[in-house]
Amino acid sequence: MSSDSQASEGEVYSLNMGPQHPSMHGVLRLLLDLRGEEVIRAKPVIGYSHRAHEKMAENRNTLQFLPNTSRVDYLSGMIYNLGYCQAIEKLLGIDVPERAIYIRVIVNELNRIASHLLWFGTFLLDLGGITPFLYSFDDREEILDILDQVTGSRLTYCYGRFGGVTWDVDETFLTRATAFLARIRERLHMYKQLVTDNVILRERCTGVGVVSEALAKSYGVTGPSLRASGVAYDVRKAEPYGGYDRFDFEVPVLHEGDTMARFHIRIREIEESCKIIEQAIEAIPEGEILPKKMPKRFKLPEGEYYFAVESARGHFGMYIVGDGSDIPVKLKLRTPSFSNLSAMPETLAGTMLADTIAIVGSIDVVMPEIDR
Amino acid sequence: MPQTLTQLLDGSVLAMPIAAGLIMGMLTVNVLMLVWAERKVSAWIQMRMGPTEVGPFGLLQTLADMLKLISKQLITPSNVDKPLYHLAPLLAFAPVVAAVALFPFSESTILVQNDYGLLFVFAFGGIAVIAIFMAGWGSNNKYALLGAIRSVAQNISYEVPLILSALSVVLVVNAMGPTLSSGDGVVAINGLDLSHIVMTQDQQGIWFVVLQPIAAIIYFISALAETNRAPFDIPEAESELVAGFHTEYSGMRFSLFFFAEYTNMLIVSMLAVVLFFGGWDGPVLPGPAWFFLKSYAVIFVMMWVRWTFPRLRFDQLMTFCWKVLIPLSILNLLATAFVIAVL
């Protein structure tokens, strides 16, 4: 092995991919050492989309920080926005009305589906299939329309309020959401026939970029990427929050850990999210969407607190240090993409250049979420 | 009086300019139409509108794009290998134009009659590889070089099954008899002459796609790879290599590559029509009309494939060629030869 590496030492060259590159999602930059087309070493460089959200949190009160949260991960902004609300509610002991709980679950899961659909499109774009991208965006557009109707925004929602949600949903919203579920199920069937069963896709994905269970655990990989490596960890099941324990859904797990497994997991998660939305629409009660009595200022008690939700990419945690005022001393955001990307250098070494694109695409990184 | 255009113009001083002008004019219109068609077909497959604004159905959109590309400044990046960088677009462009001249659009519409037309078409196709490598090497860009390396390996590999599948057709043509009655009387049959291949299908009343289905499939797959079309568009895989070998080219130089690429599509489709789909053979409509109708039908299938499939990986592409296509085409050739010998 040593003689082999010595013999071809001179042939190794470096290739800079990104931050401006057609398939580096957002502004990821990869420094690759290549021998021919084989990747010897891959080094992700991050920080091109740093907006200092954590610092901003230290300079404004808890309510003023609310709009920032959905900007952290603009693809599943609703989950982040509501997750932050849920963290503050748990900290201050605010009770959320029943109707608001169900509304939150519905919009959260719609947002998760939208995020997975976008991933589906861009991942196949990375593999060179251009058409699925437009189909999945067409589906996603429907979700954005539905959410736009109730929240007023398409991506960077600020729908949550401490104790509930901003606006109530109406019958049109529920009917449209139900209609969408029927539509996406039909579409998923088509995607299975056209995309999942395609022999080229299977050849490109099966056995490529295997993240072993041990590797995933050691780097703190979470979300669909972890569940594809054989760990059944989902915050919604492990530490139920926001009423998720009332719904009957499965956490899909596969043990291969390869790109194909990550692909299957996300498709199945869309189906599971559909199941949750269906149950929530059926059971949604009438009533208030905000508690009657609310504190005027949301003062954080002294101490350190941690609260986590399951975003579309994995375990999103908020570590809050309070000192009795309504401005946090420190708000640390634990974003899943950062840990997921950290496992990449070890996974990418020894793969082909084309696989690098597929693997990075399959873990679904959102760069602004990593840089924050 | 059936006469080739060459014969009509024979002896005239204007022969060469007229022929060249005809080809260039035809190819320019063809490329403009193909780009428009590609955008419309992809839009149709992807539930979009495609170009609609410029001209009826957006037909003039590509003309506007071409004018834009012509009027753009030619940028030469620093540290390029100047002779290679400047020559490459021209070298990519010239052979495809020359190759088109060899095709028999009908029994009497042949710009350049050549007894070894088939060989010449493949030879001109081979030159394109050199142009791509010159472009990739001369650009002084790693993406371009990677694209060029891939392209050379891919094109050279896929030429083998492409030519082997065409050879089985040549065998069949030659087996159809020692002579062939053409407009001028009876001539000795020559399987390498493009018009003889068509005339044989015409007179036997059977398209070679029926006699040689495996060769037709191998030809089509190899043709996709030969023209760098998806799912074999690895030399210019935009998600990996930005734009492959022509990353550093802009303006008219880029359009020459573009022109060559789309003309190449026309060439492999026309060759497919000649080899497998009876050339100009067809009822009612005149020969050239059938010829182009069939060619564009083949091109439509190529576009359909492009907008449906994801891309193969480079090593998978090579494995597929050397371990599946080439053995299969050799077997097909041997089986054809065997059947002909027994009959």
* Helix/strand/coil (H/E/C) assignment for every residue in A166-183: CCCCCHHHHHHHHHHHHH
Query: Splitting chain A (372 residues) into consecutive groups of 10 residues, what average pLDDT does each group show?
Result: 46 81 78 84 87 88 87 87 89 87 90 91 85 88 90 87 86 89 89 84 85 89 89 86 86 88 90 90 86 82 88 89 87 89 87 84 85 82
Contact of B313 with chain A, judged by CB distance below 8 Å, is answered with: yes
Smallest CA-to-CA distance from B252 within B70, B84, B110 is with: B70
- Position of tokens 């099941």? A237
Band of the pLDDT at B10, cuts 50, 70, 90?
low
Separation of alpha carbons A128 and B120, rounded Å:
33
Closest-CA distance, A187 to chain B, in angstroms, reads 14
Separation of alpha carbons A60 and A275, rounded Å:
38
Superfamily of domain A3-369: Cytochrome-c3 Hydrogenase, chain B (1.10.645.10)
pTM recorded for the entire structure: 0.83
Q: Flag whether pLDDT at B98 surpasses 50.
A: yes
Q: Where do the structural domains in chain A lie, given as residue ranges?
A: 3-369
Contact B45 A131 (CB under 8 A): yes
Separation of alpha carbons B276 and A26, rounded Å:
47
CB A40 within 8 A of CB A27: no
Label residue B189 left, alpha or beta by phi (over 0 means left) and psi (-120 to 50 means alpha). beta
User: Beta-carbon neighbour count of residue B12 at 10 Å?
Assistant: 10
Contact of B282 with chain A, judged by CB distance below 8 Å, is answered with: no
Contact B316 A204 (CB under 8 A): yes
Residue of A37, A128, A138 with shortest CB distance to B239: A128
pLDDT on residue A4: 47
pLDDT on residue A113: 92
pLDDT on residue A1: 36
Smallest CA-to-CA distance from B303 within B340, B269, B338 is with: B269
Residues B328-339 have a mean pLDDT of 88
Q: Flag whether pLDDT at B112 surpasses 50.
A: yes
pLDDT on residue A160: 86
Q: What is the pLDDT of residues B118-134, one digit of tens each?
A: 888 888 888 888 888 88
Report strand pairing: A29-35 vs A303-311: unpaired
Contact of B236 with chain A, judged by CB distance below 8 Å, is answered with: no
CB A86 within 8 A of CB A307: yes
pLDDT on residue A6: 45
Q: What is the pLDDT of residues B36-87, one digit of tens each?
A: 988 888 888 888 888 888 878 888 888 888 888 888 888 888 888 888 888 8
Report strand pairing: A330-334 vs B185-188: unpaired
Please enumerate in sequence order all residues whose Cβ is within 8 A of that of A8, keeping only pairs 6 or more positions apart, or say none. A35
Closest-CA distance, B111 to chain A, in angstroms, reads 39
Could you tell me the end-to-end alpha-carbon distance of chain A, in angstroms, rounded to an integer? 42
Residue of A22, A134, A200 with shortest CB distance to B48: A134
- Total CB pairs under 8 A between chain A and B: 77
Show the 3-state SS of chain B.
CCCCHHHHHCCCCCHHHHHHHHHHHHHHHHHHHHHHHHHHHHHHHCCCCCCCCCCHHHCCHHHHHHHHHHHCCCCCCCCCCHHHHHHHHHHHHHHHHHHHCCCECCCCCECCCCCCHHHHHHHHHHHHHHHHHHHHHHCCCHHHHHHHHHHHHHHHHHHHHHHHHHHHHHHHHHHCCCEEEECCEEEECCCCCHHHHHHHHHHHCCCHHHHCHHHHHHHHHHHHHHCCCCCCCHHHCHHHHCCHHHCCCCHHHHHHHHHHHHHHHHHHHHHHHHHHCCCCCCCCCCHHHHHHHHHHHHHHHHHHHHCCCCCCCHHHHHHHHHHHHHHHHHHHHHHHHHHHHHC
